[in-house]
Amino acid sequence: MISILSDFGLEDTYVAAMKAVIYRIAPTEQILDLTHHIPAGDVARGAIELWRVAPVLPTGSVILAVVDPGVGTNRRPIAIQSAEFTCVGPDNGLFTYLIGTEDCEIVELSNPDHLLPVQSATFHGRDIFAPAAAYLVSGRLLSDLGPSLPSFQRLPAPELELAGTHILRGEILYADRFGNLITSIGRLSRAGDIIRLEPWTGNLGAQDLRCPDPVLALPDGVTIPLTNTFGDVGTHSLTAYIGSAGLLEIAVNGGSALECTGLQRGQTVELRTQG
Amino acid sequence: MISILSDFGLEDTYVAAMKAVIYRIAPTEQILDLTHHIPAGDVARGAIELWRVAPVLPTGSVILAVVDPGVGTNRRPIAIQSAEFTCVGPDNGLFTYLIGTEDCEIVELSNPDHLLPVQSATFHGRDIFAPAAAYLVSGRLLSDLGPSLPSFQRLPAPELELAGTHILRGEILYADRFGNLITSIGRLSRAGDIIRLEPWTGNLGAQDLRCPDPVLALPDGVTIPLTNTFGDVGTHSLTAYIGSAGLLEIAVNGGSALECTGLQRGQTVELRTQG
Amino acid sequence: MISILSDFGLEDTYVAAMKAVIYRIAPTEQILDLTHHIPAGDVARGAIELWRVAPVLPTGSVILAVVDPGVGTNRRPIAIQSAEFTCVGPDNGLFTYLIGTEDCEIVELSNPDHLLPVQSATFHGRDIFAPAAAYLVSGRLLSDLGPSLPSFQRLPAPELELAGTHILRGEILYADRFGNLITSIGRLSRAGDIIRLEPWTGNLGAQDLRCPDPVLALPDGVTIPLTNTFGDVGTHSLTAYIGSAGLLEIAVNGGSALECTGLQRGQTVELRTQG
């Protein structure tokens, strides 16, 4: 299976062109659209979405990701093979969270046998990445696609730190389709007064925090009690909970936390005990 | 085949996560996207779209529908099997029009063998409904998924009544992508002066109305003559016709009836003879 | 494979209904969504997108295209078979650029055996075009679907002309999802001081133009130097380059040329030597 993520949107035929190229090389391959609505050029958002969805993707599947504001410049086109996935895309940080610190093999996509005969300067998704993904899913070896590379680009980790003994400080990462604000505070799970933290960006190790009556403090000092789901509070009320990827989220029941709070990406929030 | 309807949109990877879960359980299953752009939490709209598209869906197919503002609260996750379809989703009225008054079997989705091992409180689409749909399409029996239930939730029927001998009164249900206003007046067909009504919400039985020179009266008293299609009137003119699902629709040729009339969901319109 | 293009959007279940009809007739057929976000009724944009994506579509595939503002009126439903593709849709100009001047066979879709039993007046995509495409991909002959026609409708060619010896004059065709403005000047390729033009609309033959230091002149007299890709200029700077379909495009690195220039469809731009 090839899973595709991009910022191409669906208004044009860019996504269709990539899929058509895949079908020409691998006619019966299954294609899964992860999303094509990453905001234009927003590599960080693309990187988070790849990480979010990865746990349910079949092990061994090929991931084709194209959020590529540097297309046609000197950023390298790459493929990465880890124990879990084979990734194809630009070397600009897109795979930061998807590929952890485990061993992996990396190549630069430069073998002309596995590219379209003519490459445009602005659509490597169609001309370089789609054929590479299709050849890989068809059984071609990573090493057939180009020379080995020692490493790939990583984005700086989002803000996530212990502030005092039992305070977790993080930042707003993005708003989803519902206006829910997803934060960098995670991956969390909860058992009574204990909040368990497991690493996801690499900048905080696994640990248990004692945190009775947990609240999320917004930049303006307002604190929101943690619940299990947005439906646990009254209509149009603000709440926070551990979302479906283990990241702390801010939501409004029946509304948009983005509109309600006006919070922007990068603003700091803190998880701590009430009082 | 599994057909999926949701309000998840395509900006995030929520839909992809549901599909990936399905593919893990039923790797070669065909998936049909009905729509993922139901307005957030709009159960009534979701229920109508399921009813609209149902006549062309293959008999026996599985329908996975997730418009679920009560996710994580005490609303039940259910599956319903009728002679025509097997439906999976929240018990909140989504299946009101799809499943008529025929006999059907209903279960609560509570068997842990057919759920993901850990369930989030906010994404039952991925953790409960997608696996249930995938197991059902793979041949698991409805009764394997949980205990039987006597009934499922139904929404109140939209306004649709006879007002006087030959006047059909209904309401605006929603606007489609083109700005066409779809009303509850249906399902209609026309033969000369006779307008034939067939039941769809259950609140009016089949009957023939004599209705020469039919017009649709808007709340402000304006009347629009019935045509066959929007292209039958001049550019930017308002018209009404029996739409592709048998419901009366208001449209503007080359424009948006929603913008042109300012009519809102729930406003009353009447089909009657001119004069 | 059936490739589908439409202006139905994805908010409603119109696209799903077409696909369901196809699956009932051709259950295992592969379907490729080209795009369903052609602006409502914009036949010219649909025609260009079909032409753009065609080079990567498998030869022999069926193309189902429904941008159909005249649905239900006297415009004809047709199928066209060329050496490369079999096209199904309304006879309103949609296939102008996809089908060149080569020999092709054309029929009117009127055989009731290959339509849905009841046809609505407003959704021929579901009732006429989808079944026709599914029967064709299943091996039915074009001549089985209806009587032969001598020709099909073509749109007038976009502006594209030589103005003076070495000036190419064209027009803005549309803006893509990124706000890039796609012009009618093409199909171009570049080798040193030579710009090679190959025909696409039929109104200019293949030729080489000597054009050192090429610039694109906007209607207000501003000139933009040609680069290879938007990433070749500074952030928020305006540039022009030969896009992935060979048409000259205007872009802003990290921004929207549509917003930045305010240029509208149909406005004239000129490719010429600087100075």
Q: Do A69 and C231 touch (CB under 8 A)?
A: yes
Q: Do B120 and A243 touch (CB under 8 A)?
A: yes
Residue C217: inside a domain: yes
Look up residue A238 and give its two tokens: 């603000």
- List, in order, residues 6 or more apart from C42 with CB less than 8 Å away: C7, C67
| Domain of C263, in residue numbers | 160-273
- What is the per-residue pLDDT for B9? 98
Do C128 and C215 lie in one domain? The reply is no
Q: At what angle do helices C14-25 and C130-137 cross, to 10 degrees?
A: 30
- What is the per-residue pLDDT for C38? 98
Whether B243 has its CB under 8 Å from any CB of chain C: the answer is: yes
Whether C51 has its CB under 8 Å from any CB of chain A: the answer is: no
pLDDT of C275 over the 90 cut: no
Residue C155: inside a domain: no
Whether B222 has its CB under 8 Å from any CB of chain A: the answer is: no
- What is the per-residue pLDDT for B45? 98
**Alpha-carbon gap: C175 to the closest alpha carbon of chain B (Å):** 20
Residue B154: inside a domain: no
Q: How many domains does chain A have?
A: 2
Q: Do A241 and B121 touch (CB under 8 A)?
A: yes
The DSSP code sequence of A39-100 is PTT-HHHHHHHHHHHGGGSPTT-EEEEE--TTTTSSPPEEEEE-SS-EEEEESSSTTTTTS-
Q: End-to-end distance of chain C based on CA atoms, in angstroms?
A: 50
Whether C32 has its CB under 8 Å from any CB of chain A: the answer is: yes
Q: Do C11 and B35 touch (CB under 8 A)?
A: yes
CA–CA dist B228, C72 (Å, integer): 7
Do B74 and B177 lie in one domain? The reply is no
**Alpha-carbon gap: A64 to the closest alpha carbon of chain B (Å):** 14
CA–CA dist A262, B207 (Å, integer): 54
**Distances from the Cα of B105 to the Cα of B93, B115, B128, B149, C152, angstroms:** 16, 20, 19, 8, 53
Do A241 and A144 lie in one domain? The reply is no
Nearest by CB to A229, from B20, B21, B73: name it. B73
- What is the per-residue pLDDT for B165? 80
Do B66 and B142 lie in one domain? The reply is yes
Q: Do C127 and B32 touch (CB under 8 A)?
A: no
Residue A212: inside a domain: yes
Do C167 and C223 lie in one domain? The reply is yes
pLDDT of C102 over the 80 cut: yes
Whether C191 has its CB under 8 Å from any CB of chain A: the answer is: no
Do C260 and C131 lie in one domain? The reply is no
The enclosing domain of C234 has a CATH number of 2.40.30.90
Query: Which chains would you list as touching B if contact means 3+ CB atom pairs under 8 Å?
Result: A, C
Largest Cα–Cα separation, chain C: 65
Instruction: Give the three-class secondary structure for C180.
Output: coil
Report the candidate in A182, A176, A172, A169 with the shortest Cα–Cα distance to residue A263. A172
CA–CA dist A88, A98 (Å, integer): 12
Handedness of CA C10, C12, C13, C14 (dihedral sign): negative
Instruction: Indicate the residue among A96, A129, A149 that finishes a domain.
Output: A149
- Interface with A, mutate which of B7, B8, B12, B129 (most A CBs under 10 A): B12
Q: What residue of B is the nearest CA neighbor of C71?
A: B231
**Alpha-carbon gap: C103 to the closest alpha carbon of chain B (Å):** 32
Number of Cβ within a 10 Å radius of residue C169: 18
Q: Which portions of chain B are predicted below pLDDT 70?
A: none
Q: Are B133 and B2 in contact (CB under 8 A)?
A: yes
Do A42 and A80 lie in one domain? The reply is yes
Which residues does chain A have within 8 Å of residue B20's beta carbon, measured at their own beta carbons?
3, 32, 53, 56-58
Residue A155: inside a domain: no
Look up residue C89 and give its two tokens: 């849709």
Cα angle for residues B15, B21, B26 (degrees, 5° grid)? 120
Which residues does chain C have within 8 Å of residue A16's beta carbon, measured at their own beta carbons?
3, 32-35, 53
Q: Are A62 and A138 in contact (CB under 8 A)?
A: no
Which residues does chain C have within 8 Å of residue B53's beta carbon, measured at their own beta carbons?
13, 16-17, 20
- What is the per-residue pLDDT for C65? 98
One-letter-per-residue 3-state SS of chain B? CEEEEECCCCCCCHHHHHHHHHHHHCCCCCEEEEECCCCCCCHHHHHHHHHHHHHHCCCCCEEEEECCCCCCCCCCEEEEECCCCEEEEECCCCCCCCCCCCCCEEEECCCHHHCCCCCCCCCHHHHHHHHHHHHHHCCCCHHHCCCECCCCCCCCCCCEEECCCCCEEEEEEEECCCCCEEECCCCEEEECCEEEECCCCCCCCCEEEECCCEEEECCCCCEEEECCCHHHCCCCCEEEEECCCCCEEEEECCECHHHHHCCCCCCEEEEEECC
Whether B10 has its CB under 8 Å from any CB of chain A: the answer is: yes
Whether A120 has its CB under 8 Å from any CB of chain C: the answer is: yes
pLDDT of C150 over the 80 cut: yes
CA–CA dist B184, B190 (Å, integer): 16
Which residues does chain B have within 8 Å of residue A49's beta carbon, measured at their own beta carbons?
12-13
Q: What residue of C is the nearest CA neighbor of B251?
A: C122
Whether B24 has its CB under 8 Å from any CB of chain A: the answer is: yes
Location of structure tokens 């570049």: C190
The enclosing domain of B109 has a CATH number of 3.40.50.10790
Nearest by CB to A58, from B10, B17, B23: name it. B23
Do B19 and B111 lie in one domain? The reply is yes
Q: Which helix (H) or strand (E) holds A250?
A: strand A248-252
Residue B155: inside a domain: no
Instruction: Give the three-class secondary structure for A173.
Output: strand
Do C164 and C241 lie in one domain? The reply is yes
Residue B60: inside a domain: yes
Burial (CB count <10 Å: 0-12, 13-18, 19+), residue B171: middle
- What is the per-residue pLDDT for C181? 98
Q: Are C3 and C34 in contact (CB under 8 A)?
A: yes
Whether B105 has its CB under 8 Å from any CB of chain C: the answer is: no
pLDDT (tens digit, 0 to 9) for every residue of chain A, 275 residues total? 999 999 999 999 999 999 999 999 999 999 999 999 999 999 999 999 999 999 999 999 999 999 999 999 999 999 999 999 999 999 999 999 999 888 899 999 999 999 999 899 999 999 999 999 999 999 999 999 999 999 999 999 999 999 988 899 999 999 999 999 999 999 999 999 999 999 998 788 899 999 999 999 999 999 999 999 999 999 999 999 999 999 999 999 999 999 999 999 999 999 999 87
- What is the per-residue pLDDT for A40? 96
Do C242 and C130 lie in one domain? The reply is no
Q: Do A244 and B73 touch (CB under 8 A)?
A: no
- What is the per-residue pLDDT for A156? 94
Do A112 and A214 lie in one domain? The reply is no
Nearest by CB to A16, from C34, C232, C242: name it. C34
Q: What residue of A is the nearest CA neighbor of C34?
A: A16
Q: Which helix (H) or strand (E) holds C50?
A: helix C43-53
Whether C237 has its CB under 8 Å from any CB of chain A: the answer is: no
Residue A154: inside a domain: no
Q: Burial code of A149-161, b = ≥16 C-beta within 10 A, e = fewer?
A: eeebeebeebbbe
Nearest by CB to B11, from A35, A243, A254: name it. A35
- Interface with A, mutate which of B2, B7, B8, B11 (most A CBs under 10 A): B11
CA–CA dist A41, C253 (Å, integer): 10
Q: What residue of B is the nearest CA neighbor of C25?
A: B58
B134-190 pLDDT, tens digit each:
999 999 999 999 999 999 999 999 999 999 888 999 999 999 999 999 999 999 999
Helices (H), A106-242: 124, 130-137
Q: Are C108 and C77 in contact (CB under 8 A)?
A: yes
Decide which of C165 and B236 is more confident. B236
Instruction: Indicate the residue among A149, A174, A193 that finishes a domain.
Output: A149
Which residues does chain A have within 8 Å of residue C231's beta carbon, measured at their own beta carbons?
69-73
- List, in order, residues 6 or more apart from A138 with CB less than 8 Å away: A25, A26, A29
Q: Do B244 and C72 touch (CB under 8 A)?
A: no
Do A28 and A94 lie in one domain? The reply is yes
